[in-house]
Amino acid sequence: MKTREAYRCASCGAQSPRWQGQCPSCREWNTLEAVTVARKTVGPSGAASAQDTPRLLEDLEAEDLAARTSGMESLDALLGSGLVPGAAILLGGEPGIGKSTLLLQLAGSQARLGRTAVYLSGEESLPQLKSRAERLGLLGPGLLAIATTRVEDALAVLDGPEPPELLIVDSVQTLASPLAEGIPGSVGQVRAVSGELVEKTKKTGTTLILVGHVTKDGQIAGPKLLEHMVDTVLYLEGDRKHFSRILRVLKNRFGPSDELVVFTMNERGLEVVEDPATFFLGARDPSLSGTAMALAVDGQRPFAVEVQALVSKSFLSIPRRTALGFDTNRLNLLLAVLEKRLRLNLGGYDIYAKITGGLASRDPGLDLAVVSAILSSFYDRPLPEMAVFWGEIDLNGQVRPVAAHEVRLKQAGRLGHGPVCHAAACPTLADLQRLLFGRRE
């Protein structure tokens, strides 16, 4: 049998995976002693049960998985139908982006609906939680909180006579399980903690929301297995210097996986933007050169965004190329196509391009708007006032159609934009140049 080293309190007998000066149970000092214990294995063992044998799916009785409303219509639509009993949800995002605020608002909404929500925090104390909940106006019956770093305390909440309808764990990297070695946040600990919580909530019917830290690359930290264990993966993104936040679905077993919700951050927390079609557009002056309006599609929603470009004479041996809101490599590719297909000499210019409003997009349909803004700044001539652009540029200088063309066209008509520049209106970059500036060089 495999063994491992643990620490047991000489006063109360409580066991801890690591040594510390004070016993976490009885609060006595210098009572933890090193002992050797048998390593526990995660998961059931022994004889096979009836659930371990294959069964006909058509003979099984359908379970009642009627989802509970979250109290936010947009969030219900994002999740598919709401909070499914026994479902596990993973929420990731950068520090300070608003994850804890959003989940505390969700817990408060559940409490106002007469349900029990427990907010487990491994990063904040209870007075800190109360202060934030009071600032957001969420205090009331049904909203419970616990501050701990032990997974046993979370399991004890679920083992009670009346398990809560919602359990929020903020964050999974702060909890430690005696079933695994290592410090909280290590691969083994995250796997063990999440496995225990997911298994228990599926038995009790509690909806579980796990908060996950992210790496410097923006990926959810911990083992990739964590994303496979849960039913839904959400990601809250945005620029902390802007008021907008986007909640995006990366995986969803109960609904679409390409939806998003736009929020604004204010003193009362996060508020849903009901019609985000022109939210990122802001106040713009179409009489200036180097600005183009694009219809970008993210998920199923079309957004009108402004793409700005600045082409200025460079005094550096290697001109600068900077992109904000989209991939810099894509900007370099588009500039190479412009130089080759339109015979423009851009090698002596610094070129900057950005999407205004703090929105970051990977939509290939932004190519045509980026190119139009660059040409507008290069010639120092503004584009038509209500012109709108979408289309993908290939390496041959052809404008290719992009997904959701009809959705973009309908949205452009609803917003009153025109002329509309897309693959059918200007098939090549030369056609775009001739249409906008009446010239071909």
pLDDT score recorded for residue 289 = 94
201 and 306 together in one domain: no
Q: Which two tokens stand for residue 340?
A: 């080759």
Confidence of residue 222 (pLDDT cuts 50, 70, 90): low
Domain that holds residue 254: 67-274
307 and 357 together in one domain: yes
Binding residues: 93-100
pLDDT score recorded for residue 1 = 47
CA atoms within 13 A on the CB side of 212: 30
pLDDT score recorded for residue 440 = 47
331 and 251 together in one domain: no
Report yes or no: 210 and 201 within 8 Å, Cβ to Cβ: no
Please tell me which residue, 441 or 202, carries the higher pLDDT value. 202
Report yes or no: 143 and 119 within 8 Å, Cβ to Cβ: yes
pLDDT score recorded for residue 151 = 93
345 and 417 together in one domain: yes
Report yes or no: 179 and 42 within 8 Å, Cβ to Cβ: yes
Residue 168 is assigned to a structural domain of this protein: yes
3-class DSSP state for residue 106? helix
Average pLDDT of the chain?
Answer: 87
Binding residues for ATP: 93-100
3-class DSSP state for residue 172? helix
268 and 297 together in one domain: no
Residue 8 is assigned to a structural domain of this protein: yes
Question: Strands 88-93, 32-38: parallel, antiparallel or unpaired by DSSP?
Answer: unpaired
Residue 62 is assigned to a structural domain of this protein: no
Average pLDDT for 28-47:
66
211 and 342 together in one domain: no
- Residue 215 CA to residue 278 CA, distance in Å, equals 31
Residue 51 is assigned to a structural domain of this protein: no
95 and 243 together in one domain: yes
Residue 59 is assigned to a structural domain of this protein: no
- Residue 400 CA to residue 404 CA, distance in Å, equals 13
Most confident of 134-138, 263-267, 308-312, 429-433: 308-312
Percentage above 90 pLDDT, the chain: 48
- Residue 37 CA to residue 396 CA, distance in Å, equals 67
Residue 212: which residues within 8 A CB-CB, separation 6 or more?
Answer: 90, 91, 92, 171, 172, 173, 220, 221, 222, 226
**pLDDT tens for each residue of 49-62:** 455 688 888 877 76
Residue 61 is assigned to a structural domain of this protein: no
Residue 97 sits in a domain of what CATH number? 3.40.50.300
- Residue 275 CA to residue 221 CA, distance in Å, equals 33
Query: Which domain-ending residue is among 219, 243, 274?
Result: 274
142 and 267 together in one domain: yes
Query: What pTM did the predictor assign?
Result: 0.78
Residue 216 is assigned to a structural domain of this protein: yes
pLDDT score recorded for residue 96 = 86
266 and 299 together in one domain: no
- Residue 55 CA to residue 407 CA, distance in Å, equals 45
Structure letter (DSSP) for residue 408: H
What torsion, rounded to 10 degrees, do the Cα atoms 414, 392, 319, 289 define? -30
- Residue 100 CA to residue 121 CA, distance in Å, equals 9
pLDDT score recorded for residue 441 = 44
**pLDDT tens for each residue of 270-300:** 999 888 888 888 778 888 999 999 999 887 7
Query: Which domain-ending residue is among 239, 274, 309?
Result: 274
Bond before 186 cis per omega within 30 degrees: no
Please tell me which residue, 27 or 403, carries the higher pLDDT value. 403
- Residue 238 CA to residue 264 CA, distance in Å, equals 10
**pLDDT tens for each residue of 323-365:** 998 999 999 999 999 999 999 999 999 999 999 887 888 899 9
Residue 188 is assigned to a structural domain of this protein: yes
321 and 403 together in one domain: yes
Report yes or no: 264 and 271 within 8 Å, Cβ to Cβ: yes
200 and 235 together in one domain: yes
Confidence of residue 312 (pLDDT cuts 50, 70, 90): very high
Instruction: Cite the beta strand spans of 317-368 per DSSP E.
Output: 321-324, 349-355
pLDDT at 170 over 60: yes
Residue with tokens 């399980």: 177
- CA 135, chain centre distance (Å): 25
Domain count, the chain: 3
pLDDT at 64 over 60: no
Query: Which domain-ending residue is among 249, 274, 299?
Result: 274
325 and 420 together in one domain: yes
